Structure 1
């Protein structure tokens, strides 16, 4: 079984946003001009034998790129394959808390994701704390980005070490840091090792680009701590998995990485 811990089914508003323009020099592909059908996302999952993908909303300051209701509509089209992850506006704390409750209790979402780089604020900022409280109270993971930012935005808010303070303040909160944490991967590993409820996902990286220290962590005491992710549509599932067999992961580690850890963390 394979579970993708970080994906998006993109809307045109999301995929055409100017903030991602700098990434197109790497993909060398123009942004789509028509809405992407859910069937295409599922077909690309099938191509790589991915059973489920957690697809996320994108809420940025004054700009909702993918709304929670849009995510719910995508999940409704493929309920056995797609799992909803919500997002909120951290500048409106009471509204954010109410929306998290709606996402979990009414829409059936399994996590909440907020990206510090979009807000140019570290996750220790007071505006995040109502979100942490609501997630901990509802028993759903808080997902975020760690590491440098691909878009031309400040990378400092993605330092994994910020999550150390969050985990100290909210030991009941499950935290999943996506995008490996590079170039601070050792920081990410240290925080995940220190805190029982802190995890790392490999989204935005193909298997042949996983840092050596992360692979060593996965094979050793971090076997229960790392989740497979793609960051689709930036990278397709097939691209992410292409060189996985070169990492030398044994069957137990592979099962945990590809699905077991995500099933446990997201209560799937």
Structure 2
């Protein structure tokens, strides 16, 4: 089974947001309008992806992809898409209630909040109710580590911030997306130190993985790294096109492509 740990089925609000303009320098073919769900499934089929975890996007004062929209996309995809919710961290009690709704009513398998959207690190007090709710619901907290493609401050994405979060919430499963570059060594150190911290490779093609991450994948990090594409910004086929160059053995390949995501997200 191949599972894409980070994807979006984007709305027009998300695709056309000026925040994403800087990404179009590298990916000029990104659409500006919402596509049918069948388009996302076709992109998955091209890369033999069995399931994709698609995320809501909640930013300050701007819901780019709502949780209910994600639930609707999942419903249309006949088991191929899995929902990941998002919440407004400025409203902690509403956030907690929404996480419970996402898991208990919508069937979502994770919650994602991006620190750079809020311009605060994941150690900020406003994140802590989210961590409690994720622990109670037994779903991973997903976030971005590393620099940002959009022209927003990157410092809040330093992987080392997750060290303190994992110390405070050792039972919380944390998935840091976008490999943590240029702080990939930090990401590997934190994932190695903490049993429940993981890295996903979204937003990078295999040929752009830092050598340290490739070595980690081949050896003691084989149970720690999940494949992700960041579709539609990168198609899963493009993200995987140089997979053989990683020279992973059969076990490492199976874990990277799907086994780790299956275990971490309970799929």
> TM-score higher than 0.5 here?
yes
1:27: Cα distance to partner? 1.1
Q: Name the counterpart of 1:18.
A: 18
Q: Name the counterpart of 1:116.
A: 115
Runs of 4+ in 1 over 6 A off after TM superposition: none
Contact 2:122 2:162 survives alignment (8 Å): yes
Q: Name the counterpart of 1:28.
A: 28
Contact 2:60 2:118 survives alignment (8 Å): yes
Secondary structure of 1:64 counterpart: strand
Secondary structure of 1:9 counterpart: coil
1:14: Cα distance to partner? 0.3
Residues 168-212 of structure 1 deviation map (CA, whole Å, 9 limit, x = unaligned): 000010000000000000000000000000000000000000110
Structure 2, unaligned runs of 5 or more: none
Distance (whole Å) between structure 1 residues aligned to residue 120 and residue 187 of structure 2: 18
1:30: Cα distance to partner? 5.8
Structure 1, unaligned runs of 5 or more: none
Q: Name the counterpart of 1:153.
A: 152
Residues 160-175 of structure 1: pairs in structure 2 closer than 5 A = 160-175=159-174
Distance (whole Å) between structure 2 residues aligned to residue 35 and residue 26 of structure 1: 20
Q: Cα RMSD between the aligned structures? A: 0.7
Distance (whole Å) between structure 2 residues aligned to residue 84 and residue 190 of structure 1: 29
Secondary structure of 2:233 counterpart: coil
Cα 1:30/1:78, change in 2 over 3 Å: closer
Q: Name the counterpart of 1:4.
A: 4
Q: Name the counterpart of 1:48.
A: 47
Secondary structure of 2:121 counterpart: coil
What is the count of residue pairs matched by the alignment? 267
Residues 203-243 of structure 1 deviation map (CA, whole Å, 9 limit, x = unaligned): 00000001100010011111100000000000001100100
Q: Name the counterpart of 2:61.
A: 62
Q: Name the counterpart of 1:132.
A: 131
